[in-house]
Homo-oligomer: A and B are copies of this chain.
Amino acid sequence: MRTDPQAATDALFRILADPTRRRILDLLAERGPLNVSDLAAEFPDLVTSGISKHLMGLRAAGLVHANREGRQQIYALEVGAMRDTLTPWLKKYDRFWNQALERLRDLAENERRQK
């Protein structure tokens, strides 16, 4: 039962849309696995339960995973899902990644369009 790639893309971009969630991913990338309190300490304007909720979202999207250690939960980055979804998505645009080629293509298209 593998999930629809369209649905996976929707879910991924939806979860990446929030700056706090992206910052959490950044922190886990920079500093390695962290518990909730350490993460929450990086967001003085937010309450801990808010961070927890974001972590639940990231977990549901498969972007992080947690290991209980005593009374703490150690969250770590899990980039597999991101890679699997983002790679094919980016591939659709890599033909355009080179701006020069894109401009040539646009010129050709406009040419053609003018009968």
- A67 with B29: CB separation less than 8 A: no
Q: Does A102 contact B (CB under 8 A)?
A: yes
Q: Does A3 contact B (CB under 8 A)?
A: no
Q: Does A45 contact B (CB under 8 A)?
A: no
Least CB distance from A36 to B in Å reads 14
- A10 with B19: CB separation less than 8 A: yes
Least CB distance from A102 to B in Å reads 6
Residues of B within 8 A of A43 (CB): none
Q: Does A39 contact B (CB under 8 A)?
A: no
Residues of B within 8 A of A25 (CB): 93
Q: Does A53 contact B (CB under 8 A)?
A: no
Least CB distance from A99 to B in Å reads 5
Q: When A77-B102, A80-B99, A82-B93 are in contact, do A109 and B33 touch as well, CB less than 8 Å?
A: yes
Other than A26-B92, A79-B96, give 5 A-B pairs with Cβ distance below 8 A.
Answer: A10-B19, A17-B17, A76-B109, A80-B99, A82-B93
